[in-house]
Structure 1
């Protein structure tokens, strides 16, 4: 079947779609409308961690034609945000940021990379926390702070990944958060939230959250306190339920959060193709009182078999069955209600004052809230800014049509695919960029599993799939760990749907 998308007028357009969001209590809020914002996102790192290569001068947001292609596909899918893991602050991102902005999508950006010197070493954090590391981190902030669709920065991704890391890493994550927030306060025209993306390792998950969300003085002004806490969770597999997936435990454990919570990765790939039956629950009444949506892992098919699309070496794209199934799940949601809801009346939970009493797990998680001092030379960078200083701005896009070949899952070529620039202050949702003739089946039956279905799986770091970091912090792709974790079903995975 053909996937028809109406051609968009080719007149030059200065992208100006989304409204910068704010954190108010434990919710994301549109300051103009007062409405809550729910993240309906996709992890976007085409090529995996190798897509970030400073020597080749490329990263996921540096090529206009690639971003046009993928923004159009994601816009039709219905997402309103992308998470990008590895970025080069020395490249120009104006065109890609403008494209995703016009398509009504926010950017959730990791400030680290898998390269040595560009992330905190979870085994020996004191060896990697120094001025040069912070200089590069601040450069990422500088490169993206001026785009209105920059929603937040992640100060770390799964750095506290096991029990041992929980004994030494947390003070360094608070220190990095402090430094980034202090830099933003001095050099940005608006507050940009800084958060942490956690591994769903239940032995340390809630202690990590308590440690990072608390305030040294009991107020929201503590710069070392995260503005957002997110988790990479793959505990809902196949025909799981709110209870069997342990989502119920997450809601109960996080119910008094003083910061917004969301899934920074989700989408278990057992069975495969995926059925995404967790989507109605994530955006339903059982979850939305505590969680603010989630990010599906991931846009492009890589070695770990989580992709929504296949990208060929010639730049052509083929939609996978997972894409069609997820699109059907999104289409079943009432986005008018989801994005039109007001935060509950009354005060949000206040941040707890940092104390050893907050750490209640059985493991030896640190109770040391004395943070490392700013490294020598780094305070001058915080005060004066990085030099040379990257900058970003929205630019005019003259042609919104996709140049590469894009195919349906059945191999038929998609005709007339283009990004549809949205009206000012608009956010993408299913139907913003209409398409006809796309075969989706039903939300629950479109993906017939060929692997063994599982109603649940034990949350652990082995399920996490972030391409930017290994649990060791060494930069080894976590896809290697994923391959081991799912070795029992690899033989039955469908690699091209």
Structure 2
């Protein structure tokens, strides 16, 4: 089948511009820190999984279509985010165009290595069976596909594998085993060290134990089974008219107390309760205010609206268009109030806390696992770690060939956005809120979007439209 996306990229060869690479970020104590500037990175992010898990496994993933990524990167850059989280990825696909676009606008990536497809995640009901060399081959393939990209912030070895109190018994040693295997594979086959962490469900009875169990050191501070960061999926703050919309009622104060002695970065890997709509995100100034001594920011759930779940910031339509929701405008307004210089400055109250040695005394719940004997690498797994997987798809940065978004995008007021484009940043910069209002740049021209789902024909038509725009742009720039 003729590939319109490829044709569009080929057609832009006459107007190529080189991509500047953002600087790598490392874990330094309880902070993420820019390797070059030494600025602290507070995660200002969104979850990015178009269509949710149901849309995965059909020959594409969120980072495989440069046409769509260009549109979304422009909207995210205007929103002010510096990080995206992507849950499900196909390591056999080419991600160079999308990742290079996000890199150009200073947006980092936190990536889950698991997927909902068979043999591509840990199954709490069959831990021994799912923790196999086939599974390791998949997660190592994800590492290979992304380890060359400078804007890769880290990998999640698991997401909500412990969903209830009972999972706190058998599951924790397996999460540490997967973390160990990923860390050892990265050490042998990646050009740089990439941190591996975990994203936890907000199960309060086992939350502190999960963090303590996964972040302590079994064999000294360089223990490869120890997570490098801890994410929490939290929806406890629920809007201005809710009885949980304050620092104490939402239990944010308890999180600061519980993680106050953390030796690794802790952040919200998901947040954004939608019990009160539209969401006004009045937790944002708190998260990036009096919580920054302990927390490293968070990722709003989520960028795309999925089947009226009312968590999305942006609608997609079957005529190839997109529309900003009021939630996007409200979040942008909150981001614009942040003191970015203060957030990037060193955490003066932070100290380089050494990880505690793993011991039974760290675990508070009587039902949570307090044994730190973790499973051996499954049969065939150590060979993969030693020698690498066969025929990996190694990604690399490529030239960004288009900055102007050709696909129609509408503001929350129904007006067509004018001159929507990405704005490539200098080498060591991450994206920050610019104080603007994206919906304020609309015009009244253009028809209103309609529908809810893209068809293949619409995708081809939209890409053809992009191709025509690129050709015109090249002609005028020759």
TM norm. shorter chain > 0.5 = yes
Task: Tell me the CA shift for residue 326 of structure 1.
Answer: 0.2
* Structure 2 residues not aligned, in runs of 5+: 1-13, 443-478
Match of 1:391 in 2: 394
Task: Tell me the CA shift for residue 436 of structure 1.
Answer: 7.5
On the 8 A contact 2:332/2:437 being kept in 1, the answer is: no
Task: Tell me the CA shift for residue 314 of structure 1.
Answer: 2.9
Task: Tell me the CA shift for residue 50 of structure 1.
Answer: 2.6
Task: Tell me the CA shift for residue 313 of structure 1.
Answer: 2.2
Can you list the C-alpha shifts for 1:435-473, whole angstroms capped at 9, x where unaligned? Answer: 58259xxxxxxxxxxxxxxxxxxxxxxxxxxxxxxxxxx
Can you list the C-alpha shifts for 1:46-91, whole angstroms capped at 9, x where unaligned? Answer: 11113321xx320000000000010000100000000000000000
Match of 2:449 in 1: none
Match of 1:97 in 2: 99
Match of 1:375 in 2: 378
CA distance in 1 between counterparts of 2:420 and 2:179 reads: 40
Task: Tell me the CA shift for residue 161 of structure 1.
Answer: 1.2
Q: Which of residues 293, 301, 310 is equivalent to 2:297?
A: 293
CA distance in 1 between counterparts of 2:263 and 2:343 reads: 21
Match of 2:288 in 1: 283
The TM-score with structure 2 as length reference comes to 0.86
Task: Tell me the CA shift for residue 434 of structure 1.
Answer: 7.7
* Structure 1 residues not aligned, in runs of 5+: 1-9, 440-497
Match of 1:336 in 2: 341
Aligned: 1:154 with 2:159: no
On the 8 A contact 2:417/2:441 being kept in 1, the answer is: no
On the 8 A contact 2:411/2:438 being kept in 1, the answer is: no
CA distance in 1 between counterparts of 2:380 and 2:284 reads: 46
Aligned: 1:247 with 2:252: yes
Can you list the C-alpha shifts for 1:87-123, whole angstroms capped at 9, x where unaligned? Answer: 0000000000000000110000000001121000022
On the 8 A contact 1:321/1:409 being kept in 2, the answer is: yes
Match of 2:193 in 1: 191
Match of 2:11 in 1: none
On the 8 A contact 1:75/1:432 being kept in 2, the answer is: no
Task: Tell me the CA shift for residue 408 of structure 1.
Answer: 0.7
CA distance in 2 between counterparts of 1:401 and 1:33 reads: 30
Higher relative contact order at CA 8 Å, sep ≥6: structure 1 or structure 2?
A: 1
Match of 1:270 in 2: 275
* CA distance 1:433–1:398, change in 2 (3 Å): farther
Match of 2:416 in 1: 413
* CA distance 1:420–1:374, change in 2 (3 Å): same
Task: Tell me the CA shift for residue 275 of structure 1.
Answer: 1.1
Can you list the C-alpha shifts for 1:13-59, whole angstroms capped at 9, x where unaligned? Answer: 22224110010111101121222110000000011113321xx3200
Match of 2:23 in 1: 19
The TM-score with structure 1 as length reference comes to 0.83
Give the secondary structure class of the aligned counterpart of 1:293. strand
CA distance in 2 between counterparts of 1:290 and 1:136 reads: 34
Give the secondary structure class of the aligned counterpart of 2:417. coil
Match of 1:353 in 2: 357
Match of 2:111 in 1: 109
Task: Tell me the CA shift for residue 388 of structure 1.
Answer: 1.4
CA distance in 2 between counterparts of 1:126 and 1:315 reads: 44
Task: Tell me the CA shift for residue 347 of structure 1.
Answer: 4.0
On the 8 A contact 1:14/1:394 being kept in 2, the answer is: no
CA distance in 2 between counterparts of 1:346 and 1:84 reads: 29
Q: Which of residues 143, 146, 150 is equivalent to 2:145?
A: 143
Task: Tell me the CA shift for residue 294 of structure 1.
Answer: 0.2
On the 8 A contact 2:417/2:439 being kept in 1, the answer is: no
Task: Tell me the CA shift for residue 399 of structure 1.
Answer: 1.2
Question: CA RMSD for the aligned pairs?
Answer: 1.5
CA distance in 1 between counterparts of 2:424 and 2:107 reads: 11
Q: Which of residues 403, 424, 429 is equivalent to 1:426?
A: 429
Match of 2:462 in 1: none
CA distance in 2 between counterparts of 1:32 and 1:404 reads: 36
* CA distance 1:330–1:84, change in 2 (3 Å): same
1:16-165 → structure 2 map (5 Å cutoff): 16-53=20-57, 56-165=58-167
Can you list the C-alpha shifts for 1:178-221, whole angstroms capped at 9, x where unaligned? Answer: 0000000000111100000000110000000000000013x320
CA distance in 2 between counterparts of 1:47 and 1:28 reads: 30
